[in-house]
Amino acid sequence: MGQLLSCAGIRLGTRISEPESTEIPIHHKCRNCGQQCDQSKLSDTCIYSKFTRTGTKEQPLIIRSIVPNGKVRWSSSFDYHPIEFTSEKIRTSTKEYVDRDPRQDLNIEIPWNSDDRLCDRRSYHGPYKIIERIPQNPCGRTGITGRGHLGHFGPNHAADPIVTRWKRDKNGAKMFHPSTKKGMLQFVCILRRDTNEYAIPGGMVDKKEKVTDTLQREFHEEVLNFPDLDECGKEKLVKVIKNIFENGGTKIYCGYVDDPRNTDNSWMETTAYNFHDEDNEHLALINVQAGDDATNAFWHDLDSQIPLFASHADFLRRVAYLHKAHW
């Protein structure tokens, strides 16, 4: 499946030249640090105005307890009394991916750190601790306990397809940024319905679903709409996309995600792949339009100043380094 760049911060084959930490990432964006935050930085500090609350359009906002930078790790002593919160939507959902809450039924034995019939409960970072019968976030305190808006205690797995092309002028020539003199990439971007933020068109991995299937499914659901194509044209395009998603692509990252939905007991982990159309032969020619799961979908210039959901800016930065493009 292309060249493997990184997984949970551990070197696994060829990787981009940018140095990376081998430590499990510390929480920043998903908690209230109680400090003035620098929005120009991606992973080095939280963005105070965006990620200090847990909520969606359908659910109330829950204020997280303040967790100073030096008190995030569980090993640090801290007088810590976070709010417990699991959304009503998660508690009452009948979808199969929502597991039963062991705090409500103490007779349930859940096989933590294993792949069971409900979901894959293994973490990319190895075994996590079980404290009082529920998982403990391996990256530390988040200011809130429970499942929040996530379906499972422990890791909740997602997949993010990053589809890119070179930005070109009307004559088809590659365009370069005036400051960095590097080629400019464009990526398929969506506007999320729940947070109204720019994002990569990813989603949750369904039970027993392969990551490659999730990548393809989410791309279809969020950015492909074929109002101008006949059935023959649709079928041809779908076959091309299927072939590319199953046989091409470069793994950019797999591991913990600094996500606003994370709690002390539930957290997001993802696998991100880059599908790049170097010569505008297939994916670059798609006129993307919002599907069922997005408000809008479009090609967007890849740039460090884009306000993006969760850790998506970090993934795009890796893609820019991979292609030696402007960031």
More confident residue, 10 or 126: 126
Reported as a single tens digit per residue, the pLDDT across 34-84 is: 544 444 444 333 433 344 445 555 555 677 888 887 888 899 999 999 989
> Do the domain assignments include residue 277?
yes
pLDDT bracket for residue 288 (50, 70, 90): confident
pLDDT given at position 1: 37
Range 274-300 average pLDDT: 79
> Do the domain assignments include residue 309?
yes
In 223-253, which positions are buried (b, 16+ CB within 10 angstroms) versus exposed (e)?
bbbbeeeeeeeeeebeeebeebbeebbbbbb
Q: Is 66 helix (H, G, I), strand (E, B) or coil?
A: strand
> Do the domain assignments include residue 1?
no
CATH number of domain containing 234? 3.90.79.10
Q: Domain tally for the chain?
A: 1
- What are the residues whose beta carbons fall under 8 Å from the beta carbon of 139, sequence distance 6 or more? 24, 25, 26, 27, 72, 256, 262, 267
Range 165-193 average pLDDT: 92
> Do the domain assignments include residue 46?
no
More confident residue, 71 or 5: 71
pLDDT given at position 26: 58
- Cβ burial of 102 (10 Å; 0-12, 13-18, 19+) is middle
> Do the domain assignments include residue 51?
no
> Do the domain assignments include residue 127?
no
The strand pair at 203-204 and 154-166 is best described as antiparallel
> Do the domain assignments include residue 124?
no
Range 257-271 average pLDDT: 89
> Do the domain assignments include residue 103?
no
Among 14-18, 267-271, 277-281, the least confident range: 14-18
- Which one, of 162, 163, 185, lies nearest residue 272 by Cα? 162
Range 77-101 average pLDDT: 73
Q: Which domain holds residue 219?
A: 157-323
pLDDT bracket for residue 130 (50, 70, 90): very high
- Whether 189 shows a pLDDT value over 80: the answer reads yes
- Whether 136 shows a pLDDT value over 70: the answer reads yes
